[in-house]
């Protein structure tokens, strides 16, 4: 799901069959982001720099190399900028289509999800 930062509107959605990692689904969907657009992602999108050079990714700590104070401050800044995206995702989760098992026809999942995203976008206008 691609969310516009300023308006918190859902811009693009992509779906896969079964459980798929977010970054794998992003690569398979062939979603293109304009080169000048900054892509703010979470730590699940580790290889996005190869696909989209203008992306902002938080640093991960390892067992041998903990995060420095500068890295923690940068991660906090990134997460404070991403919070509007997380609010849009949380709004869609209120409809239980993502947070619980989907028990209806699989063919209509995309349609129903896009309808809920449209309701979310409409609510953001008000």
What is the C-alpha to C-alpha distance for residues 92 and 10, in angstroms, rounded to an integer? 10
Report CA torsion sign: 100, 87, 12, 111: positive
Question: What is the domain partition of the chain in residue ranges?
Answer: 2-125
Q: Are 118 and 110 in contact (CB under 8 A)?
A: no
Q: What is the pLDDT of residue 69?
A: 95
Average pLDDT, the chain: 86
Low-confidence ranges of the chain (pLDDT < 50): none
Q: What is the pLDDT of residues 71-87, one digit of tens each?
A: 999 999 999 988 888 88
pLDDT of residue 126: 67
pTM for the whole structure: 0.73
């Amino acid at each position: 799901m691609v969310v516009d930062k300023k308006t918190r509107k859902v811009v693009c959605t992509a779906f896969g069959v079964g459980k798929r990692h977010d970054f794998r689904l992003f690569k398979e969907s062939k979603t293109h982001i304009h080169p000048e657009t900054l892509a703010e992602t979470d730590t699940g999108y580790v290889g996005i720099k190869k696909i989209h050079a203008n992306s902002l990714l938080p640093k991960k700590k390892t067992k041998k190399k903990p995060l420095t104070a500068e890295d923690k401050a940068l991660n906090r800044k990134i997460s404070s900028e991403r919070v509007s995206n997380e609010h849009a995702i949380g709004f869609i989760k209120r409809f239980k289509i993502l947070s619980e098992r989907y028990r209806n026809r699989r063919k209509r999942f995309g349609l129903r999800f896009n309808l809920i995203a449209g309701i979310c976008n409409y609510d953001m206008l008000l």
